[in-house]
Chain A
Amino acid sequence: MPAEEMGKLTNRIRLVFAVSSLVFLAVLAISPFKDYRREWKQYKRSYLRFAQGRPDTKKLIADYSPSIDQIWLPGMNVVDRCTTCHQGITQTSLSDKAVPQPFRAHPAIPHNVRDWGCTICHRGQGPATEVAEAHESTLAWEQPVLPAHFIQASCGTCHRSDLPQTPQLTRGRQLLGELNCQGCHRLPGIERPAMLGPDLSSVGTKVSREWIYKWLKEPRTILDKDGNVTVNGYETEDEPRMPKFRLTEDELRGVSAYLSAQRAKTLVPYKITAGVVAAWSKNPELASQGELRFRQMFCSTCHSLAVTRAGETKLIGGNIGPELTKVGSKVNPDWLVTWLRDPEGYLPHTRMPRYGWSDEDLYKVTQYIATKLTDSDLLTGVPQLGQPTEQEIQLGHRLFLEKGCASCHVIEGLNPQKDFGPDLSALGGKNASELEFGAAKIPHNLVSYIQAKLQDPISVNPAARMPQYNWNQGDLDAITAALLSLKGAPPTSALQNLVVPRKEVGFHPTGSFAEVYERYKCYTCHKFNGYGGDLAPDLTYEGSRAQRPWIVDFLKNPQTLRPTLILRMPQFNMSDKDAATLAEYMTMVLQHPSANPASVDVKQFTPAMAALGKQLYEVKYQCQSCHTIGGSGGYVGPNLNNAGGWLTPAWTESWLKNPQALVPDTIEPRRNFTENEVQALTAYLMTLRAGIKPQKTARLSGSSTVALGAGR
């Protein structure tokens, strides 16, 4: 090879070397460049620029750190680097909505981010340092950030008892209970009632096989084309308790045959005195008199009826018992009479109270129900089924167990399958890979899965046995939040120690009070020591609040002055003895320690004190804005016309000092009265007496607001 050629070659090699060294340099520079361009570092620099434009730059810069910020709480399994980008999370000056994310401050909540981290509530991947990895689920990370709409689920993971701040979660837990989900699923923390669905041991004596067929095919509740839930064709906002099972014609015939053959207790019809029947059966007023009694007894507090007003038909009444618009076409008339006289004789654990009936009332009301609350078209479209064959009954028996009917409905001698549905006690903590999505075209995450399963169980699993429910969006989200809150046993002992357990409530009276209390089912509407319904005022301290003669009077004649009110205390036709038993127990036992009726004697009040109290009431504190005395005043609080005949002076004094100490969720504002003012106001209120009873307001069905009854 000639020398000059070698030189040329050398130059070329030099060029190649030069270029490749440059390329190597560039390649080596990639790493620091990539490091410089990292997502979290960009947010760091962006925050610095942002801080420069703020009025409190100095403080923001002083709190700034250029490195990765990490909250490490080993006891709680928390390694959260979220604050690396969410740098203003604890800066109160950055709480304004105009502050761009991720720099905005966290809204004020009872938990400090430094003590709790972020992922305990928000989920997502704490150790990740990239936006997508931290928030969403990737192949390597399984938990996406919980959408803020369901954030109350996280409160519920530790707070097993209900919090006022989490209405969505509370509603969801309530739905899980009301819809009897625990019939098939294990749901820790959801109270299991003594009876889930009605006991069907003798259902054959109550309804016809055709009615059962229709009910199973289309449980009265229908979702119309606009998405409105209707019961018997009438719109309602309540979630129906009986879901729809997808049964074939043969299955419908089988189950209806099996159920119509259930006659464990033979029906012994109650014979209404011949004299009463003779006197009333030909009377054209019979049905209208029956309707009047039906109204006077306030059946509508628990049962709704379709009522047409101004051309619009609506269900009016409570939802504790079933809707009754067409019940006359449903039940056997002999059964109806027997049932009304003694509900527990047919159905143990029923919430229906036992009224004190006269034969005359019983005849009028049952005739009204049987002749007016009817629909001759109720069973249209139901084929003539005839007598059930042995084969059909066998099929029905098998299906009753297989479909899970037995999980909610008791039938004597039938043992339901244990743990019929999947255990849901840790559903809320599941990773996407543990879920079965089937052919459903939905995002593969837990929230979508739960919602798809609830709305259409077979969309994610064609073999699902779960029945069909109708949800409105709010209830669907509430129940989703409640399920998301169930994450099973906490993974560490530190977290276990943080769990606020659900309060065990119970009220176990004894003696003659217990018998009367159980007969009238007082706990269906009233609370005692935290146990019972919330339709009517809490009676835990009724003995401190109300004077004994007033209690007796009210129990015997619980009339109110409010004609617009729908839900009122039923008229039980209570005997003097029963009323005395209840009043005796209340005044002896249902006492608040700080309001002992014996401690304040009404004789100590002078007319001068009462006059001062009247002035304070009317001028200084203007209590009339919420309370009515005579013909004027507001209706927010109870009417005080008869305060002196109703309330005990000791309760009134304690109440004025601190209402929330006596009834924690009362909306009566806690004022700053002096001792003298408390006495003067009490003296004035004790002078108020009238033959009329204080009016009470009960909360409307389905609303989440507190009742405004006496003392609320």
Chain B
Amino acid sequence: MKPRIWISSLLLLALAGISGCRKHAETAKIDPLLSAYDSEADWTDSQRVIPLGYQQAQGKRIFYQHCVWCHADATPAGPSNRSNLTPVPPVLNDGATLNAESDEYLQNIITLGGSAMGKSAMMPPYGRMLSGEEIRSVIAFTRAIAQPPYQPPGRPGSQYSAK
């Protein structure tokens, strides 16, 4: 009997050694605090809030500075300038139109302007005003708010999910 107690007590000690002394602290739980700069209310359903990552949030800032005047139905200054333009520019969340365009195409049309890409000259070029990274962030924001939602083109290996 005695050795069995010995062994089991040793085993218990060993187990305790393996699993012991792991510190678990009180986690800093912050609710996803949603405010304007890192989220955007869905333009077609204001109840739905779209969280934005770093790049998308930068894109949102640039969009509301430069693009909102013609690519949204309401602007911070009141009515939209869209109705003054022919052809009427797409609203930024118009997934039916913009989802079909590649990131490269959007990058080009923003950088070089509409006339360089065979579209309306009313779209000015922004390549001398915004950096490539800033333009990419605007595209990231466009993708984030698209309705119907944007599906990036499939790439081998991108479906990997860990664990």
- Which residues of A pack against B, CB within 8 Å? 15-16, 19-20, 23, 26-27, 30, 33-34, 46, 50, 53-55, 96-100, 103, 107-109, 132-133, 136-140, 144-145, 147-149, 164-165, 167-168, 443-445, 447-448, 473-474, 477-478, 564, 619-622, 625-626, 632-636, 660, 667, 669-672, 697, 699-700, 703-706, 708
Contacts and interface: CB of A to CB of B under 8 A. Distances in A.
15 contacts: A46-B162, A50-B162, A100-B163, A137-B25, A138-B25, A149-B30, A165-B58, A448-B28, A564-B78, A625-B81, A634-B85, A636-B69, A669-B126, A700-B76, A705-B77
Given A136-B26, A447-B30, A705 B58 contact: no
Contact of B65 (A27, A140, A625, A667): A667
Is chain A's interface secondary structure helix, strand, loop, or mixed overall? loop
B84 A633 contact: yes
Contacts, number: 172
A448 B34 CA distance: 16
Interface residues of B, number: 62
Given A660-B129, A670-B129, A103 B162 contact: yes
A705 B65 contact: yes
Contacts of A164: 61
A23 B7 contact: yes
B34 A133 contact: no
A669 B55 contact: no
B81 A443 contact: no
Nearest to B23: A138
A118 to B, nearest CB: 14
A705 B25 contact: no
Interface in B106-155: 115, 120-122, 124-126, 128-129, 133, 152, 155
B84 A620 contact: no
B104 to A, nearest CB: 16
A672 B160 contact: no
A25 B84 CA distance: 83
B121 A622 contact: yes
A20 B53 CA distance: 57
Contact of B128 (A50, A443, A671): A671
B1 interface: no
A705 B64 contact: yes
A167 B57 CA distance: 10
Contacts of A660: 129
Given A660-B129, A672-B128, A46 B163 contact: yes
Given A109-B54, A147-B30, A669-B126, A15 B3 contact: yes
* Most A C-beta atoms less than 10 A away, residue of B37, B38, B81, B152: B37
B41 interface: no
A27 B28 contact: no
A703 B159 contact: no
Nearest to B15: A30
A671 B28 contact: no
